[in-house]
Structure 1
């Protein structure tokens, strides 16, 4: 059974996943607090950085821009890329297996909250070549 204290998490409470383009801190999910239907993370992207086009087979994703601004690309059903300028307050739905990418075009750090349903894509990120673990508190 999950301790009630594990239901409350800040990004600094968990190890972060570091990448060449930024970092991701999984704050909710099966390995963090026993969530079964989804996982969630806070993503930090420095100015001028972004993650490459990718998809999450078998999972939908919600992206919510917490701060900063950038460009969000989502491919349509035919594979044609569609890019929108996004800023704090914008929600983006990424359908199952749809390719997408994010680029921070602003002058400040971009912070994003993401939710995967079902959980799992966050674990696959550990297999990327530029993955490195950033210990809690760093």
Structure 2
């Protein structure tokens, strides 16, 4: 029997903690066995955000679950396109495009992200400000 999960809650997986918030990788090759994509839940603290970055060779979809913020995604000419995002908004980040997210609201901004193909999320663990809490442990940021 496989140790891969078909049903995953955020409590089932480790928490990647950053100065701006946290990330729970709910579907990766290691967790579910998914190979074509990976997913996760991101929480960005009020007034914070992650820096401009890109994922070469990877597309990303960001679905805003709650909260509000500012999202930047470069257009095909490399020009930054900034837009306010709120719950219910879906953001598509084409392969390799630079982007950032900032929480402009008073409450945590929660989003669900999808990377295709899987793998780009593993780079987050290598960032110097990443701290990891084991599954089930309340993150102490």
TM over 0.5: yes
Displaced runs of 4 or more, over 6 A: none
Counting only pairs closer than 5 Å after superposition, residues 1-80 of structure 1 correspond to structure 2 as 2=2, 6-80=5-79
1:127 aligns with 126
Identify unmatched segments of 5+ residues in structure 2.
none
Q: Which of the two has greater helix per residue? A: 1
**Deviation by residue 1:35-67 (Cα, 9 ceiling, x = unmatched):** 011000000111001000000001000000000
RMSD between aligned alpha carbons? Answer: 1.1
Identify unmatched segments of 5+ residues in structure 1.
none
2:116 aligns with 117
How many residues align? The count is 137
TM-score relative to the length of structure 1: 0.95
**Deviation by residue 1:86-133 (Cα, 9 ceiling, x = unmatched):** 000000100000000000000101000000000011101111110110
TM-score relative to the length of structure 2: 0.93
1:93 aligns with 92
Cα distance between partner residues in 2 of 1:29 and 1:22 = 20
